[in-house]
Amino acid sequence: LEEYLKFKQLKTSLKEAILLDYYTAGFCWAKEMNFSLIQLSGFMDLLNFLLENLSDKHMSLGDNLKELGRAMAGIGETDSEGSGDLDFFSIEQAKAVIDYLNISLFKHYKAYEYLFHSPGEEFVISNE
């Protein structure tokens, strides 16, 4: 993941270390859920989408929750017009994804806002 995310300062950048942890924890959780390859890919895309909404678009918690609702819309419905992008999840899986996002991202939203929008980053001087 470090190579895929193109992190170059992992040992000295707190931001990179936190983001690597975020994506690694999400990947491990999805693997434990026995998601198929397409579900795993969709879940990782969802993690990235929600984090980009926060980091790049400065989206509030409420607005980001609305975006999650739009992405999850139509899961379990047979009408393909009402389906969102994540219709490959079952209703039970979608509930688990929402629960995971609640404890991993939304519960700590202020901390992630600070990570992305604080004035500057303090660098770690050594590994000690």
> By the 8 A CB rule, do 83 and 73 touch?
yes
pLDDT in tens, 26-45: 999 999 999 999 999 999 99
pLDDT in tens, 45-60: 999 999 999 999 999 9
The pTM score is: 0.82
More confident residue, 108 or 128: 108
CA-nearest of 56, 69, 71, 68 to 112 is 56
pLDDT in tens, 71-110: 988 787 665 555 557 778 999 999 999 999 999 999 999 9
Phi, psi of 45 (to 5 degrees): -60, -40
Helix 109-117 vs helix 37-55: crossing angle, to nearest 10:
60
- Which sequence spans correspond to the domains of the chain? 37-76+84-117
Angle at 40 between CA 34 and CA 42, to 5 degrees: 140
Query: Coil, strand or helix: which one is 13?
Result: strand
